Amino acid sequence: MEAGYRNGTGLFEKILHSGDSPKVNGWNLTYHVFDYNLDYFEVGAIDSDVWKLTDPRIRITERAASARGGLWGNNGYEAAYVMTYVDADGEQLTGDNTYTLRLSPTPPVGAFWSVTMYNVPDFYLIENPINRNSLGDRTPGVVRDEDGGITITMSASEPTEGTARANWLPAPSSEFRPILRMHMPDNALLDVTYEIPAIVKIG
């Protein structure tokens, strides 16, 4: 039983990092991990083939991984979730470095979007000096770029430059995984016409 638990835990971690979801610029596009439940009827889900995982082997493992990484997700047509563990060079994100995520244009949504910071491997929110766990289009004081985009700074230490500090998403000193949530996503997100850029290490 102990060996089975160890093997199962290792498999979950592998699925969380790779799984069956497509990847773009290091982001796992987990738009279908909360698809229509074919094993047990779930009231409120759209009964459409577009939002069904028909292969039970994929369906079960994706659901297990989504439960491990974050319970109670919405269907992809309600909220599109993407997450990443790595920067533009494929290296694990860690508080030892400083990163930027430049969203220009910002994600096309009918409601709102936000980036939330989680530690690894527990996926918990972290304590930080400005009590900010997420940053998005509703965050007070965010400074936009000249073209209307937003450049988010992710680091464990507080930036000193004005715009970087205003757009600072505090990271833990250890490894981390941000999640970008996009509520009422536009079709450009779902068909990947809109491409989410990679997180870039700047220091």
- Contact between 199 and 101 under an 8 Å Cβ cutoff? The reply is yes
Statement: residue 43 has pLDDT above 60: no
- The domain defined by 2-201 carries CATH number 2.60.120.600: yes
How far, in Å, CA of 201 to CA of 203, rounded? 6
- Contact between 153 and 99 under an 8 Å Cβ cutoff? The reply is yes
Percent of the chain having pLDDT more than 70?
A: 86
What value does the mean pLDDT take over residues 29-45? 70
- Contact between 51 and 185 under an 8 Å Cβ cutoff? The reply is no
| Domain residue ranges in the chain | 2-201
> Strands of 168-170's sheet, edge to edge?
168-170, 150-155, 99-103, 200-201
Residue 86 — very low, low, confident or very high, per pLDDT cuts 50/70/90?
A: very high
Place of tokens 């160890």: 6
Which of 6-15, 108-117, 126-135, 136-145 has the weakest average pLDDT? 6-15
pTM: 0.85
Statement: residue 143 has pLDDT above 60: yes
Which of 47-51, 82-86, 131-135, 162-166 has the weakest average pLDDT? 47-51
Q: Of 72 and 35, which is predicted with more confidence?
A: 35
Q: What is the DSSP string of the chain?
A: -HHHHHHHHHHHHHHHHTSSS-EETTEEE-TTTT-B-SSS--TTS---GGGB---HHHHHHHHHHHHHH-SSPPPTTTEEEEE-SB-TTSPBPBTTS-EEEEESSPP-BSS-EEEEEEETTT------TT---EEETT-TTPPPPTTS-EEEEEESSPP-SHHHHHTEEE--SSBEEEEEEEESB-HHHHTTSS-PPPPEE--
In terms of C-beta density within 10 A (0-12 exposed, 13-18 middle, 19 or more buried), how is residue 78 classed?
middle
Question: What is residue 17's predicted lDDT score, i.e. its pLDDT?
Answer: 60
Question: What is residue 165's predicted lDDT score, i.e. its pLDDT?
Answer: 97
